[in-house]
Every structure is written in C-alpha cells, then in structure tokens.
Chain A
Amino acid sequence: MATDALGWWGVPLAIIAGTLRGSAPFLFVSLGECLTEKSGKINLGLEGTLLMGAMSAYAVSFLTGSPWLGVITAGVAGMGLGLIHGWLAQQPRVNDIAVGIAMIIFGSGLAFFFGKPYIQPAAPQLPSIAFGAWSQSPQLESALRVSPLFLLGVAIAPLMTWFFRATRWGLLVRAVGDSPDAARAMGISVFKVRLFSIMAGSFLAGVGGAYLSLYYPGIWSERISSGQGLMAVALVIFARWNPRQCLYASLLFGGAQAIGPALQSVGIDAYYYLFNASPYILTLLIMVFTCSPRRQLSGAPGALGQSQD
C-alpha cells in the first residue's frame, strides 16, 4: 500500500510520471503526421485513425489474448484508413483538410460501430518495464514504469530523422514534399510516394491508438482520445517537421495533461479548466514568438498545403 504523502514533491513527480505515461499517443501520432506532411500532404483524419487503432487493438487483444497482435492490427487498420485518405486527398480538386475532417467522422464512426461489444470486457494489456524497481518509494516505482511501446516510439524519432536525411526513400519523400514538379521530372511517382507516406504515417497513428487502449489509460471507450489526433497537426508544426523535436513536443504535451490534476491534488483547485488548456495556450504563444513573416520556417515542406496540381 502507498506510504507517505509526497506533498509538493508530488507535482513534479506527477508531471514526470504523466510525461512517461501519457506522451506516447502524441508521439506516435505526431511522428505519423510528420512523415505525412513531409510528403506534402496533411492528414487531419488521424483523430479517426487513432480511435480506429484503439478499438481494433483492444478487440484483437481481447479476442486472441495477445496485446502485441492488437498493436499490429491497430497499425494495419490505421493503414487502411490511410489508404483511403492518401488516395482521395490526391484526386484533383480535392482538399486534404476536407478529406481529413470527413475521415475523422468516418474513422470514428467505424471505430464506434464495431467497438460496441468491446467496451465492457477486459482485454489483456501490454506489459511494462519497471525502471524504478530499485526504489523504496512506491510513487517513484510507479512513475518509472514505462511501456516498451513508448520506448519504441522514442527510438523511432531519431530513426526517422536519419531516414529523412540519409536514406534514398527519405530523400524521395522530401523531394516529393518540397517540389513535386521536380520530383515528377525525375521520374518519381508523386502519387505513390505520398500514398505510402500517408499509409505509413497512419500505421504509426494506429499504434498510438493501441497505446491508449492497451496501456494507458488502458480501456476502450468512445471518449478515449482527448483530441490527440487533431493536436498532432499542431505538434508537427510546433516541432518544425523534425521527428526528434516531435519527441520533445510530445513529452511536453504528455506532461501538460498531468498539470491540472496534480495541482488539484496539492490543493490548488481554482482555474482547472484553464490549467487543462495550458498546452494549447503554450503552443499558440510559442508559435507567435517563433514564427516570422520574413522567413519561412525551416524544415517546412514546400508543397505543403498547396492545392492539388
């Protein structure tokens, strides 16, 4: 059983623990969105992908008893939605933001429709690694309990940076995102590269959903996502299309989720709605101070947001 109260030390501890527990969905979705946007398209529909991932992971884990199979299914289900988005958003006269919002509705609709039977049963959860096993303090022990899936996400971030910088495929994605015309002239299929990027990005977002339902908070419910999928788009811009910075931004957002409850637990109980909105306010402020009309943001894909050719 829990021992002594932590008092004010509980606040930083809760934020650290909240960061380790709650950032992974942001991380996976923002990495997925980063890959998508690097290829020159936006996918707002990742909110729906996240929900679809959460539902399918939970269902498969429940039905087969294997949470890891659930994670893979979530990715594949995400890819299915990514296929629709990637194909449709590249049709002439079709705007990717519009497709994204339609995909939020469609994806969440499918997830809710097929997820009904899985709200109540308990599915096997993903294991965790106890980095705090040495500690005498149960609070610290619990705070340092980390999901391997989160570590995987942390590993993907630098890998994706390397992918963009040093691999042929990464160069292709960047070329297509920066100047599709030049890429086309080089004989690259812009359509295919973007389709694959969007699908791979959606795979990651689906895995992010699996983290929600199979690790933290570890349930499937229709309100499981608190807008992580939508926020991913903001996160990526916040992170300047740099996967490594996506990691930092996700940690920030994950930790921010813990601020409101942590402050209330030590007796600061006014303004909690505003504390809960702190990540959004912070992001906006940072964007206001770091953007400038005189230069384009470094790392921004040139073709991003341009209408279809």
Chain B
Amino acid sequence: MTDSLRRSLANLYIPLGSLLAALIIFGGFCALAGANPFGVYHSIYRAAFGSWSSFQNTLTQASPLMLSSLCTALPARLGLVIIGNEGAIVMGGLAAVVSGLALSDWGAASPVVQIGMALAAMGLGGLWIALVGALRHYRAVNETISSLLLNYIAIALLNHLINGPLKDPSSLNNPATYPIPAVHMLGNLPGSRVHYGLIFGLVACGIAYFLIQRTTFGFAARTTGGNLRAAKIAGLPVGQLTLIICFLGGACAGLAGMVEVAAIHGRANAALNAGYGYSGVLVAFIARQNPIAATVVALLLGGILASGGILQRAHSLPDATVLVFQGIVFLSVLYGDSLQGRLSGLMQRFRRQPVPPPAPIGPLV
C-alpha cells in the first residue's frame, strides 16, 4: 500500500472509528440511565437521517454552523485562535436588520434589500473580528481573549438595542426590532424547507478552501501561520494579511447572523445569541480548520442537534442527554485525530512519537 493511499484511508476510518466509539460509549451511558441503547441508536437515525424530512432538520441545524465555523477556521491559518463567532453573528444580525429596514423604507427592490443586508452584515461582522486582528497585530492583545470579551459586549449591545433604541413597541413580550417586510425575506430552497443559508454556507466553505489552498494569498497566509518570523523576513505584509483574514472570517459569521434575520426571524431578537458561535468554534477545530471538512462536521453536529428532541420524547432521557452525547462525540473525535499517523506505531507498540503539527497555532501572547 502506498503512503498516500494509506493516509487517505486513515483520513476516513479514523473519524468513523471515533464516531463508532462515541456511539458505543454513549450507548453504555444510556443503558446506565435506563434506556435501551439500540432503541436510542434507532431513534437518533430516524430523527436525523431517517427520512428526507428529518434530514432537512439536520441540514437546517447545520447551515449556521458552516458559516460560523469559518470565523475560526480562516484566522487559524494565520495561527490565530479566534472564538468571537457569537459576537460577529450578533453584530451581523443587527447590521442586517438596520440596513434592511433602511433599504426597504427607501423603497428598494427585494434583491437590493437582500444584497444590502448581506453586505452590511458581512461588513460589520468582518470589522468586529478585524478589530480583534488589529488589536492582535498593533497592540499584541491576545486574540482569543479579546474575541471572547467582544462576544459579551456584542450580546450586551444586542440586548440594549432590542430593549431600547431599536425596539418595536408591538413586539410586546418578546422584545425585538421592527420586522423586515415579508417580501424581502430569503426564501427556501426549491422543494424543501431548508433556507438559502445552507447554500451560503456551502459556497463560503468552498471559496474559503480555494482561497487558502489555491491562491497566492492563501499561500502567504499559510506561510505566515507556519512561521511568523520567516514571513516577516520574506517581506510578507503580516499586518494586512491579519486584518484581511480576520475580516473575511468575521464576514462569514456576520452573514450567518444575516441569514438568521433574513430567512427565519425577520427581525433581530435575543434568539440571535443562540450558541451557534461556540458550536462553530468546535466545528472548526474538529475539522482541523479545513473548510470542506467543516461542512461535514457541521452536518454531523446538525444531526446530533436534530436528534436531541427524540431522546427526550421517545426515551424519557433528560434534556441534558444531548449535551453529554455531543461532548462524548467531540472528545472521541479529537482523540481519534491524535491517532492519525500513529496507528501503525500503535499496532507495534504503544509509544508516544513526536508528530509535526499540521495546523500550527500561534503563541497565545
């Protein structure tokens, strides 16, 4: 067997094996909790993938995660660990509402309103994360921490605006902004109830992959991420790269916020802050910051989320069960990752071997 063939096989059977292991562990957990593991497996399959209708549930849950994950995956190429996805989604949603209301007030046609909303959301989301990049580059402020803090600040801003200056008085018991007129809303994909956010996510992941792997820009970014000093010596514009990549990542998350507004709620409300941000971080890491892999991982997480309800309804398991399930799957997949390239060694004898890091993560400080 050639090396490359073995590697691509390993790429397939290790994640699958990790999933299988996670399912077995989770089955044991369910059995301890008094549920029949095989019944649970069957229900998960039925609720997440069993029919076109339930698969649409999975797709729906997955689509915000694809866009959200890029907010972490793109900057990771520069060695930046950004977890500010939640904040960028919130800011994107706010920008989308404000621009959408302004444009529809002005009497613009639907495509103009929609494009305007998307651009505004990507712009503000992008700036939000570019701010993190700028603080990192010019002030050496740790990007993980500043992006985490910006999440809290964005959520506070959202709550302030929807309960104050932007509040629609008729939103009564569920404070929200004024609604975007229904004609300007994004529709669903033909023959389904999945909205266009899924296409945005898939396209954005495709573009991101191409940008990173196939362009000189991406090459420069990867070089910088691999060795900052060498990149500086080679004369790469590290500051510009940082700002642009962060902007692009934030723009994707901002677009996710726009989709929440323009395809689902029609307004900005507290539901914008629904945890897609942190799930996106996890998706990006599980996918090893690879945008194509992120689409698959997002589908997996979407499937888990889609099956969360049936565990409660059909097996009387507590609502927290789906969290435990997620935790087991992700820990197991993360561990499986570490076996990559180590398996043959493992088979001979369990010993730790130094493995070169494929996705370098920058220093924290």
Q: A105-B330, A233-B145 are in contact. Are A293 and B360 (CB under 8 A)?
A: no
* Interface SS of B by simple majority: helix
CB-defined interface of B130-154 with A at 8 Å, one 1/0 digit per residue?
0000010111111011101110110
In contact, B139 and A292 (Cβ under 8 angstroms): yes
Q: Is the CB of B324 closer than 8 A to any CB of chain A?
A: yes
Q: A277-B152, A277-B153, A293-B140 are in contact. Are A95 and B361 (CB under 8 A)?
A: yes
Q: Is the CB of B160 closer than 8 A to any CB of chain A?
A: yes
Tell me the residues in window 292-308 of chain A with beta carbons closer than 8 Å to chain B beta carbons.
292-293, 296-297, 300, 304-308
In contact, B326 and A109 (Cβ under 8 angstroms): yes
Picked from A280, A297, A309, the residue with its CB within 8 Å of the CB of B354 is A309
Picked from A88, A270, A281, the residue with its CB within 8 Å of the CB of B335 is A88
In contact, B156 and A95 (Cβ under 8 angstroms): no
In contact, A291 and B140 (Cβ under 8 angstroms): yes
Q: Is the CB of B338 closer than 8 A to any CB of chain A?
A: yes
The stretch of A134-142, A163-171, A204-212, A282-290 in contact with B is A282-290
State the total of A-B contacts with C-beta under 8 angstroms: 178
The stretch of A21-29, A65-73, A96-104 in contact with B is A96-104
Docked pose: A293 CA to B136 CA in angstroms: 8
The stretch of A6-14, A110-118, A150-158, A213-221 in contact with B is A110-118
Residues of B within 8 A of A93 (CB): 337-338, 340, 355, 357-358
Q: A88-B335, A92-B354, A103-B331 are in contact. Are A113 and B324 (CB under 8 A)?
A: yes
Residues of B within 8 A of A108 (CB): 320, 323
Q: Is the CB of A84 closer than 8 A to any CB of chain B?
A: yes
Q: A84-B331, A88-B335, A93-B355 are in contact. Are A274 and B281 (CB under 8 A)?
A: no
Q: A92-B354, A102-B327, A309-B354 are in contact. Are A288 and B141 (CB under 8 A)?
A: yes
Residues of B within 8 A of A113 (CB): 33, 318, 320-321, 323-324
In contact, A307 and B357 (Cβ under 8 angstroms): yes
In contact, B327 and A107 (Cβ under 8 angstroms): yes
In contact, A305 and B361 (Cβ under 8 angstroms): yes
What's the minimum C-beta distance from A292 to chain B, rounded to whole angstroms?
6
Task: Tell me which of B146, B149, B159, B354 has the highest count of chain A C-beta atoms within 10 A of its own C-beta.
Answer: B149
Tell me the residues in window 308-330 of chain B with beta carbons closer than 8 Å to chain A beta carbons.
318-328, 330
Docked pose: A288 CA to B323 CA in angstroms: 36
Picked from A92, A110, A284, A304, the residue with its CB within 8 Å of the CB of B364 is A304
Residues of B within 8 A of A42 (CB): 144, 364
Picked from A92, A231, A300, the residue with its CB within 8 Å of the CB of B355 is A92
In contact, A284 and B334 (Cβ under 8 angstroms): no
In contact, B338 and A307 (Cβ under 8 angstroms): no
Docked pose: A280 CA to B353 CA in angstroms: 41
What's the minimum C-beta distance from B327 to chain A, rounded to whole angstroms?
3
Residues of B within 8 A of A283 (CB): 145, 149
Residues of A within 8 A of B185 (CB): none
Q: Is the CB of B163 closer than 8 A to any CB of chain A?
A: yes
In contact, A97 and B334 (Cβ under 8 angstroms): no
Q: Closest B-chain residue to A304, C-beta based?
A: B364
Q: Closest A-chain residue to B320, C-beta based?
A: A112
Q: Is the CB of A127 closer than 8 A to any CB of chain B?
A: no
Q: Closest B-chain residue to A238, C-beta based?
A: B145
* Interface SS of A by simple majority: helix
Q: Closest A-chain residue to B156, C-beta based?
A: A277
Docked pose: A306 CA to B338 CA in angstroms: 16
Residues of B within 8 A of A231 (CB): 148
Residues of B within 8 A of A126 (CB): none
What's the minimum C-beta distance from B229 to chain A, rounded to whole angstroms?
14
Q: Is the CB of B342 closer than 8 A to any CB of chain A?
A: yes
Q: Closest B-chain residue to A271, C-beta based?
A: B160
In contact, A230 and B148 (Cβ under 8 angstroms): yes
Q: Is the CB of A94 closer than 8 A to any CB of chain B?
A: yes
In contact, B156 and A276 (Cβ under 8 angstroms): yes
Docked pose: A301 CA to B149 CA in angstroms: 22
What's the minimum C-beta distance from B163 to chain A, rounded to whole angstroms?
7
Tell me the residues in window 146-183 of chain B with beta carbons closer than 8 Å to chain A beta carbons.
146, 148-150, 152-153, 155-157, 159-160, 163-164
Residues of A within 8 A of B138 (CB): 293
Tell me the residues in window 58-101 of chain A with beta carbons closer than 8 Å to chain B beta carbons.
84, 88, 91-95, 97-99, 101
Q: Is the CB of B78 closer than 8 A to any CB of chain A?
A: no
In contact, B152 and A227 (Cβ under 8 angstroms): yes
In contact, A288 and B135 (Cβ under 8 angstroms): yes
In contact, B362 and A305 (Cβ under 8 angstroms): yes
Q: Is the CB of B282 closer than 8 A to any CB of chain A?
A: yes
19 pairs, CB–CB < 8 Å, chain A vs chain B:
A88-B331, A91-B335, A92-B342, A93-B355, A93-B358, A95-B81, A99-B331, A99-B334, A101-B330, A102-B327, A106-B323, A106-B326, A113-B33, A230-B148, A233-B145, A271-B160, A273-B159, A287-B135, A300-B365
Shortest beta-carbon contacts, A-B, top 7: A106-B327, A305-B364, A109-B323, A98-B285, A112-B320, A277-B156, A91-B338
Q: Which residues of B contact A (CB under 8 A)?
A: 33, 81, 83, 135, 137-142, 144-146, 148-150, 152-153, 155-157, 159-160, 163-164, 278, 281-282, 285-286, 318-328, 330-331, 334-335, 337-338, 340, 342, 352-355, 357-365
Given contacts A116-B318, A276-B156, A287-B141, 6 further A-B contacts (CB under 8 A): A88-B334, A97-B144, A109-B321, A222-B320, A280-B153, A297-B365
